[in-house]
Amino acid sequence: MTPMIRGNICLNAHPAGCEAAVQAWVARAEAKAANIKANAEKAGKSLPKAVLVLGASTGYGLASRITAAFGYGAATIGVSMERQPSDKKPGTPGWYNNRAFDRAASKKGLFARTIDADAFANETRQKVIELAKEEGIVFDQLIYSLASPVRLEPSTGIMHRSVLKPLGSPFSGLSLDVLSGALSKVSIEPANEEETKATVKVMGGEDWELWVKSLKNAGLLSKNFVTLAYSYIGPSHTSGIYRGGTIGKAKEHLEKTAKEMNAWLKPYGGSAFVSINKAVVTRASSVIPVVALYVASLFKVMKEKGLHEDCLDQLLRLYADRLFADGKVPTDPEGRIRMDDWEMLDEVQAEVAIRFANATEANLREITDFDGFKQDFLEAHGFAVKGVNYDIEPSLI
Ligand SMILES: NC(=O)c1ccc[n+]([C@@H]2O[C@H](COP(=O)([O-])OP(=O)(O)OC[C@H]3O[C@@H](n4cnc5c(N)ncnc54)[C@H](O)[C@@H]3O)[C@@H](O)[C@H]2O)c1
Residue 34, pLDDT > 80, answer: yes
Cα 103 to averaged position of ligand 1 atoms, centre (Å): 22
Is the pTM here over 0.75, yes or no?
Answer: yes
Residue 242: active-site member: yes
Q: Which of 58, 290, 302 to mutate to test the pocket of ligand 1 (most atoms within 8 A of CB)?
A: 58
Q: State the DSSP code for 205.
A: S
Q: Which of 81, 97, 241, 338 to mutate to test the pocket of ligand 1 (most atoms within 8 A of CB)?
A: 81
What residues are in contact with ligand 1 under a 6 Å CB criterion? 55-61, 79-82, 94, 118-120, 145-148, 230-232, 277, 279-280, 282-285
Average pLDDT, the chain: 95
**What confidence tens digit (pLDDT) does each residue in 37-93 have?**
888 888 898 899 999 999 999 999 999 999 999 999 999 999 999 999 998 899 999
* 96-109 burial code (b ≥16 CB/10 A, e <16): bbbbbbbebbeeee
Residues 203 and 218: their CA atoms lie apart, in Å, by 25
Residue 284, pLDDT > 80, answer: no
Task: List the Cα angle 167/168/170 in 5-degree steps.
Answer: 80
Choice among 242, 268, 294, 390 that is catalytic? 242
Residues 102 and 143: their CA atoms lie apart, in Å, by 18
Nearest to 397 by CA among 95, 80, 35, 194: 95
For the chain, percent of residues with pLDDT exceeding 90: 89
The phi, psi pair for 152, rounded to 5°, reads -85, 110
pLDDT-based confidence at 278, cuts 50/70/90?
A: very high
Collapsing DSSP to helix, strand or coil, 41 comes out as helix
**What confidence tens digit (pLDDT) does each residue in 170-188 have?**
999 999 999 899 999 999 9
Over residues 268-288, mean pLDDT: 91
**What confidence tens digit (pLDDT) does each residue in 92-131 have?**
999 999 999 999 999 999 999 999 999 999 999 999 999 9
Q: Which of 65, 76, 97, 148 to mutate to test the pocket of ligand 1 (most atoms within 8 A of CB)?
A: 148
- Residue with CA closest to ligand 1 atom 19: 284
pLDDT at 286: 83
Atom of ligand 1 nearest to the CA of 340: 6
pLDDT at 349: 98
Residue 333, pLDDT > 80, answer: yes
- Single-letter amino acid, residue 349: Q
Nearest to 383 by CA among 81, 99, 90: 90
CB 154 within 8 A of CB 122: yes
* 112-126 burial code (b ≥16 CB/10 A, e <16): bbbbbebbbbeebbe
The larger pLDDT score, comparing residue 161 to residue 392, is at 161
Over residues 319-338, mean pLDDT: 94
- Residue with CA closest to ligand 1 atom 4: 279
Cα separations (Å) of 245 from 48, 200, 233, 241? 35, 11, 11, 5
Extents of the domains making up the chain: 5-166+194-288+309-340
Is the domain defined by 5-166+194-288+309-340 classed in CATH 2.40.160.40? no
pLDDT at 17: 97
Residues 356 and 361: their CA atoms lie apart, in Å, by 12
Residue 160, pLDDT > 90, answer: yes
Residues 51 and 110: their CA atoms lie apart, in Å, by 12
